[in-house]
Copies of this chain bind each other. A is one copy, B any other.
Amino acid sequence: MRILVINPNSSSALTESVADAAQQVVATGTIISAINPSRGPAVIEGSFDEALATFHLIEEVERAERENPPDAYVIACFGDPGLDAVKELTDRPVVGVAEAAIHMSSFVAATFSIVSILPRVRKHLHELVRQAGATNRLASIKLPNLGVMAFHEDEHAALETLKQAAKEAVQEDGAESIVLGCAGMVGFARQLSDELGVPVIDPVEAACRVAESLVALGYQTSKANSYQKPTEKQYL
């Protein structure tokens, strides 16, 4: 089985990190491939960035479908950009890392907090939580004013900030688990979980396991209605 993880921003360093992390949690025999578009925003920190990234992400999916289709796709940005559009393009399972993390947290904890990046994404995160049906389980959204690049510029400081926010979520907001709200936080989950004493969900890892399970269970993206192939029309 091969799962194609698409990092929708144009930062190939991040792409390698998430591929490495994902490969370690899937079963023997499951291959993780990872790519990113060569164009688009270096990081995704809002709706404008997301709209641009989605356009290039779609090109990658179209190429993969044409040339070398995987068994499933994972979209590795916590905004789940382009998720419905990609589901229209393929019969294969497509998993967003935010939806995967939020759903998986529900099996091990009654509540969760998302620890993510900049205050400006709060509205979008509330939307993702709502779409995953988890509004009642949400303890808080912590946005410690970290840009996505913070984890590459000064990893130590970023991790400290992250840890502090997560600790507040657990101790003050009643979070029984932490969902890391950015693909760029890859590699921090275990350490944080050990320190906090609650499950910490790495969204890319969670999504790759979900994708792998969907393939193993034989499920394909339903074409009954919402995710039908695009209707034929002229694209100028």
Determine the residue in chain B with the shortest Cβ distance to A55: B55
Give the Cβ gap from A168 to chain B, nearest Cβ, in Å.
Answer: 14
Expressed in whole angstroms, the Cα–Cα distance for A126 and B131 within the complex equals 12
Cβ-defined partner of A225 (8 Å) among B93, B106, B110: B110
Expressed in whole angstroms, the Cα–Cα distance for A230 and B121 within the complex equals 11
**Cβ of A158 under 8 Å from chain B:** no
| Chain B neighbourhood of A122, CB < 8 A | 174, 225-226
Say yes or no: A93 contacts B106, CB within 8 Å: no
**Cβ of A33 under 8 Å from chain B:** no
Say yes or no: A41 contacts B225, CB within 8 Å: no
Q: Mark A38-68, 1 if CB is under 8 A from B, else 0.
A: 1111110111111110110010000000000
Give the Cβ gap from A231 to chain B, nearest Cβ, in Å.
Answer: 5
Expressed in whole angstroms, the Cα–Cα distance for A210 and B107 within the complex equals 9
Tell me which residues from 143 to 170 in chain A have a Cβ below 8 Å from any Cβ of chain B: 147, 149, 170
| Chain B neighbourhood of A176, CB < 8 A | 222, 224-227
Tell me which residues from 1 to 48 in chain A have a Cβ below 8 Å from any Cβ of chain B: 10, 25-29, 38-43, 45-48
- List 29 contacting pairs A-B, 8 Å CB cutoff, sorted by A: A27-B216, A38-B236, A39-B236, A40-B236, A41-B235, A42-B234, A42-B236, A51-B85, A52-B235, A54-B54, A84-B123, A93-B107, A103-B106, A108-B214, A110-B222, A110-B226, A110-B227, A122-B225, A123-B226, A133-B133, A133-B136, A170-B224, A176-B224, A176-B225, A177-B222, A206-B213, A206-B217, A209-B216, A209-B217
